Structure 1
Amino acid sequence: MTDTITPTKWEILADKALQGKRLTLEEGLSLLQADDDEMLPIMQAAYRVRKHYYGKKVKLNMIFNAKSGNCPEDCGYCAQSIVSSAPIEKYRLLDKETLVAGAHEAIERQAGTYCIVASGRRPSNREVDQVVAAVEEITATTDLKICACLGLLDEGKATQLQKAGVHRYNHNLNTHKDNHANITTTHTYDDRVDTLDHVKNAGISPCSGCIVGMGETDGQLVETAYALRDMDVDSIPVNFLHAIPGTPLEDYPRTKPMKSLKVLAMMRLINPSKEIRISGGREINLRHLQPIGLYAANSVFVGDYLTTEGQAIKEDHAIIEDLGFEIEECAL
């Protein structure tokens, strides 16, 4: 007589995700609030879904800080905001040649996506023209995918970027709608949603995610995952707050490594087919558990972030190799 193996509740959630069914709020919460002893079966469930859609491929992304500081927004997590006293480098939008040179650095790092990021509320006409000129040269000479992150955007500027060859536009929701005013008051949650709508209408792939650890509840974190699913964004960067001295959130505690892994698993099971990217703050929140995160996520930033340092690129390459995973190729 053959014994039957009863699937765990996490495997049942993986089956549900693979069938395209929406997890309930209670199921999402169960992932975040599970006992740490459940971590391995949770990550196995997340990996089943990740492997179904992405196999063992890992997508590498590189951020290029194209314009730094002097931002009029009051985002409490950001060293570049008007309310921050953090000592950072400040400069205007870099010239076309420097932006193009950054793209070739991304290729050297084996990144498939080059993210041009600029501080500020929204880009000026001149700044968009400058980014467009750089993107046109990059796309004419490389196979890199270009992501832009320039702040709030109207449909006209979105269309201009799309015609130049911008593949993806990032504008994070950052936090739950009901927590937004606790983090930022100079623009609204709906302003961010509007920008993503303009991006989608222009034919650009939408990228939007969150920053975990900014005072949101577990329920709000699950509902943010639902919001991203309902908006049908293609890429979801999961950032973990890196509390920078001199910012209003400087005293916020780090998200513990095991909780960080549960967040990644929850994001994967609620958004099964989407790119889940381990993003800012991973080094100090996931710490030595970073490799395990790739059993849920299929994408990661390499190198430094905007105002904080990342780990050595060779370490990220080694993690991927040691897991038996493969870097998505980017050819010249």
Structure 2
Amino acid sequence: MTDVRTDWTRDEIADIYNSPVLDLIYRAATVHRQHHDPQEVQVCTLLSVKTGGCPEDCAYCPQAARYHTSVKVHKLMEVDEVLTAAHRARESGSTRFCMGAAWREVRDNRDFDKVLEMVQGVNRMGMEVCCTLGMLTETQAEKLKTAGLYAYN
């Protein structure tokens, strides 16, 4: 396997961006099959740890505060609730646990500290941990990585 590239040129990025979607799917499947058994899937679990009330106005997202949807606003879950859900996910066969929060950006406050605890706890269970929390600073990304984050969406 070749190393992951991080030196993409603007022309290469534009070429990918302008490619037909089915060509991109084919290329992605080809690369995937070079490195993974096409008959296997990774079981992942996604949990919304903070739901609704996002100040962004993404038209596709039911969590945006600007749209009238059936999504109810829930504050950030407690660490023990999240770890219980992660444990259930692992027992059900998940190897990756992803936590999503309806935020535009992460603030350095008690909530972010709780998210770091969640990441550490899930990581200690031996699961891959991913998050989607909105925009991050470089320092926040480093803190998440140090806590055991595997991927960020």
Q: Is the 8 A contact 2:82 2:118 kept in 1?
A: yes
SS state of the match for residue 65, structure 1? strand
Question: Residues of 1 paired with 2:21 and 2:64: CA distance?
Answer: 35
Which of 99, 113, 120 is matched with 2:96 structurally?
Answer: 113
Q: 2:120 aligned with 1:136, yes or no? A: yes
Gaps of 5+ in 1: 1-21, 33-41, 171-332
Amino acid at match of 1:134: M
Once the two structures are superposed, the pairs formed by residues 64-213 of structure 1 within 5 Å of their partners are 64-125=47-108, 126-140=110-124, 142-170=125-153
Task: Summarize the Cα distance change of 1:51–1:89 in structure 2 as closer, same or farther, 3 Å threshold.
Answer: same
Q: 1:98 and 1:46, CA in 2 relative to 1: closer, same or farther beyond 3 A?
A: closer
When the two structures are superposed, what TM-score results if normalisation uses the length of structure 2? Answer: 0.77
Cα distance 1:123–1:53, how it changes in 2: closer, same or farther (>3 A)?
A: same
- Structure 2 gaps of 5+ residues are 1-11
Change (3 A) 1:107 1:73: same
User: Does the aligned pair in 1 maintain the 2:96–2:129 contact within 8 Å?
Assistant: yes
In structure 2, the CA distance between the partners of 1:161 and 1:47, relative to structure 1 (3 Å rule), is closer
Structure-2 separation of matches of 1:121 and 1:148: 14
Cα gap change, 1:29 to 1:121, in 2 (>3 Å): closer
Residue aligning to 1:258: none
Can you list the C-alpha shifts for 1:105-160, whole angstroms capped at 9, x where unaligned?
Answer: 221331211001000111222221001112222222x1101001110000111111
The amino acid that maps onto 1:158 is A
**Is the 1:76–1:83 Cα contact (8 Å) retained in structure 2?**
no
Distance 1:148 1:46 in 2: 22
The whole-number CA distance in structure 2 between the counterparts of 1:136 and 1:101 is 13
Residue deviations 1:19-57, cap 9 Å, x none?
A: xxx8x67x943946xxxxxxxxx97x8765433210233
CA distance in 1, matches of 2:146, 2:140: 10
Letter in 1 for 2:76: L
Aligned residue type for 2:117: A
Give the 3-state SS of the residue equivalent to 1:57 in structure 2. coil
Cα contact 2:54–2:104 (8 A) shared by 1: yes
In the alignment, the residues of structure 2 paired with residue 159 and residue 47 of structure 1 have an alpha-carbon distance, to the nearest angstrom, of 31
The answer on whether the counterparts of 1:62 and 1:115 sit within 8 Å (CA) in structure 2 is yes
- SS of the counterpart of 1:83? coil
Identity, in percent, stands at 28
Cα-to-partner distance string for 1:72-97 (whole Å, 9 max, x where unaligned): 11111111112210121211100000
Task: Write the mapping of 1:220-299 to structure 2, written as runs, cut at 5 A.
Answer: none
Distance 1:48 1:159 in 2: 32
Separation in 1, partners of 2:69, 2:40: 37
CA-CA distance at 1:161 after TM superposition: 1.0
**Residue number in structure 2 paired with 1:52:** 34
Structure 1 103/28 Cα, relative in aligned 2: closer, same or farther at 3 Å? Answer: same
Instruction: Provide runs of 4+ in structure 1 moved above 4 Å.
Output: 45-49
Give, in whole Å, the separation in 1 of the partners of 2:126 and 2:107: 27
CA distance in structure 2 between the partners assigned to 1:113 and 1:98 by the alignment: 17
Cα distance in structure 2, aligned partners of 1:117 and 1:87: 18
Higher relative contact order (CA 8 A, sep 6+): 1
Q: What is the identity, as a one-letter code, of the residue corresponding to 2:97? A: Y
Q: Count the aligned residue pairs.
A: 136
Q: For the structure 1 residues 154 and 51, does the alpha-carbon distance in structure 2 shift closer, same or farther, using more than 3 Å as the test?
A: same
